[in-house]
Structure 1
Amino acid sequence: MSDLLTAILLGIVEGVTEFLPVSSTGHLVLATELLGYDPQRWAVFNIAIQPGAILAIVVLYWRTFMAVLSGLMKGEKHSIAFVRNLLIAFIPAVALGLAFNDQIEALLENAVVVAWALIIGGVAILIVERLAKTRDVGGISGVSVPQSVKIGLVQCMAMIPGVSRSGATIMGAMAFGIDRRTAAEFSFFLALPTLTGATVLQMYKHRDAITANDLQLIGVGALVSFVVALVVVKAFMAVVTKHGFAPFAWYRIAAGSVALLVLAAK
């Protein structure tokens, strides 16, 4: 398979899975392993294309961003609380990401860890969906500081490939009493600083090894992930509103189980 086709395929995987509670990194690791790609070669690519999916959130929620920016300029409390909550939730990932970056990179090459994380995460989603007692908090600005800290800590679990950053933050938020829609949107917006930081760190760390051809492939992958994510996020909110997160939980369990079987047969 050509490098260009590989970049397009991985871009599709990133766009489809980044904001779903199914683990985009886990799927990219499995795609790399199961399709026979060199995992070390594509590891940086898999992280570097994330800004494409991030841009989709900026486009889809541009009115929210403009309202928050306008509110900040006017000193409005709800806009200040909106930004404060996201920054608080972002801090734990920065601290642990910098401290354990090498260990995290090593896990990116372990497809078995990803498969088990998919299964365990699926079971966890089913449990939270059944037991969590949530209430409408009035949006991200209505989330309390303690809840934001807890969401930030839970997000750190996603440093294990297959756990799912969006899944951890959404389910964590619901477990802490936050309504389903706010939990999902908190996860979407928290992705902006988290994934941007991870991309910048990886690009800087591997700057000497990245070629002009690599940059072109990253550009293609990011563009594809952007277009795909635009469609997927809208569909995701529609599914969650009607059916909750259970369909994604069962998908995780099935995907993880199939991956273990295929990996065992290789």
Structure 2
Amino acid sequence: MSFWDFFVALVLGIVEGLTEFAPVSSTGHMILVDDLLLHSKELFPASVANSFKVVIQLGSILAVVIVFKDRFLDMFGLRRKSGGAAKGGPRLKLAQVIVGLIPAGVIGVLFEDYIDTYLFSIKTVLIGLVVGGVLMIVADRFRPRVPKADTVDKVTYKQAFGIGLFQCLGMWPGFSRSGSTISGGVLLGLSHRAASDFTFIMAVPIMMGASVISLYKHWDSFTAEALPFFAVGFVSAFIFALISIRFFLKLIQRIKLVPFAIYRFVLAALIALVYF
């Protein structure tokens, strides 16, 4: 593994970790950083590049598990005391997360090949960045004055399913899974923090499932030569996702969604200037 290989893996892992769960589109950032600066597609076969993307996503997923470990332990009944809800009060249930996963799970199974074949392009990412930004502004503008659920423990099954429908928008490259689900949650009456918490918790099983399927398809790319490249990307994605998630959960309560929408418009303009 050359120094440049190490540098590429490190930078892509950092970009993944910083942007995967912020509502700014990790895909858009990967396009800019990789295509303009790193040119990883020229360094590695397509199968290795695809597997690498999955590996660094797994690093980000592990960061979510660490941040929300008490929540996951509660949902699986592995803790006697809940750190997320008052004693005797409502508590987020595993069944509610499953309900939220149903829409995207169905759409993913039915249209995965179509999405991979036809929707991954610069133009589709630009559309996703702009339309997703508009949705975020709409969510902040038309959200209920008083949230119906100020914590993730008060999310209802109806709200969970509605957020799951919004999550389907995140399958469009550039739209951002977190951007669509947080916006949907806010429109459905969750506070920004509750919508963010539910978004991150729901991301673990759906991203894990997609990652396992992808790893199975590209398992032959895990060679001894590629493993150090994967390891560097995984570790850097994990560390920076851990930092990013903790910072974002504090920030979203103060600045809401509009600043992230404006950032998306700037990113879209930059990509358009570079490629068109």
TM-score w.r.t. length of structure 2: 0.86
Higher share in helix: 1
Say if 2:23 and 2:178, in contact at 8 Å, map to a contact too. Answer: yes
- Does residue 85 of structure 1 match 2:91? no
Question: Is the CA contact (8 Å cut-off) linking 1:107 and 1:160 kept in structure 2?
Answer: no
Query: For structure 1, which segment, 31-40 or 222-231, has the greater mean C-alpha deviation from structure 2 after superposition?
Result: 31-40
Q: Residue type of the partner of 1:176?
A: L
Query: Conserved in 1, the CA contact under 8 Å of 2:73 and 2:79?
Result: no
Q: Distance in 2 between the 1:151 and 1:94 partners?
A: 13
Q: Provide the residue aligned with 2:261 in structure 1.
A: 249
Match of 1:161 among 165, 173, 180: 173
Residue pair 2:101, 2:164 contacting (<8 A) in 1 also: yes
Deviation at 1:129, TM superposition (A): 0.7
Question: Which residue does 1:65 correspond to in 2?
Answer: 72
The Cα shift of 1:106 comes to 2.5
Question: Matched residues in 2 for 1:185 and 1:207: separation?
Answer: 32
In structure 2, the residue matched to 1:27 is: 29
Contact 1:120 1:253 in 2 (8 A): no
Letter in 2 for 1:233: I
Deviation at 1:46?
A: 1.6
For residues 1-266 of structure 1, the aligned pairs below 5 Å read 2-35=4-37, 36-38=39-41, 40=46, 42-70=49-77, 78-79=90-91, 81-107=92-118, 109-133=120-144, 135-264=147-276
- CA gap 1:241/1:73 in 2 versus in 1, 3 angstroms: closer
Deviation at 1:77, TM superposition (A): 8.6
Structure 2: runs of 5+ lacking an equivalent: 82-87
Judged with a 3 Å threshold, the aligned counterparts in structure 2 of structure 1 residues 3 and 33 are, in CA distance, closer, same or farther, namely: same
CA-CA distance at 1:189 after TM superposition? 0.3
The answer to which of 240-249 and 181-190 deviates more is 240-249
Residue by residue over 1:59-85, the C-alpha shift from the partner in whole angstroms, topping out at 9 and shown as x without a partner, is 2222333333447889x8945x52111
Question: Aligned letter for 1:38?
Answer: K
TM-score, normalised relative to structure 1: 0.89
**RMSD value, Cα:** 2.4
In 2, Cα distance between the equivalents of 1:59 and 1:243? Answer: 25
Count of residues in correspondence between the two structures: 262
For 1:23, the aligned partner's letter is S
Contact 1:93 1:156 in 2 (8 A): yes
Distance, in Å, in 1 between the alignment partners of 2:152 and 2:250 is 19
Partner Cα distance (1:198, 1:68) in 2: 22
- 8 Å Cα contact 2:120/2:173 also seen in 1: no
- CA displacement at 1:109 relative to structure 2: 4.2
Percentage of identical aligned residues: 35
Q: 1:216 to 1:91 in 2, by over 3 A?
A: farther
- Tell which deviates more after alignment, 94-103 or 166-175: 94-103
Give distance in 1, aligned partners of 2:195 and 2:36: 32
Give distance in 1, aligned partners of 2:78 and 2:62.
Answer: 22
CA distance 1:73–1:201, shift in 2 (3 Å): farther
- Contact 2:151 / 2:190 at 8 angstroms: preserved in 1? no
* Residue type of the alignment partner of 2:14: I
Q: Aligned partner of 1:28: which letter?
A: M
User: For residues 250 and 162 of structure 2, what CA distance do their matches in structure 1 show?
Assistant: 27
| Matched position secondary structure for 1:212 | coil
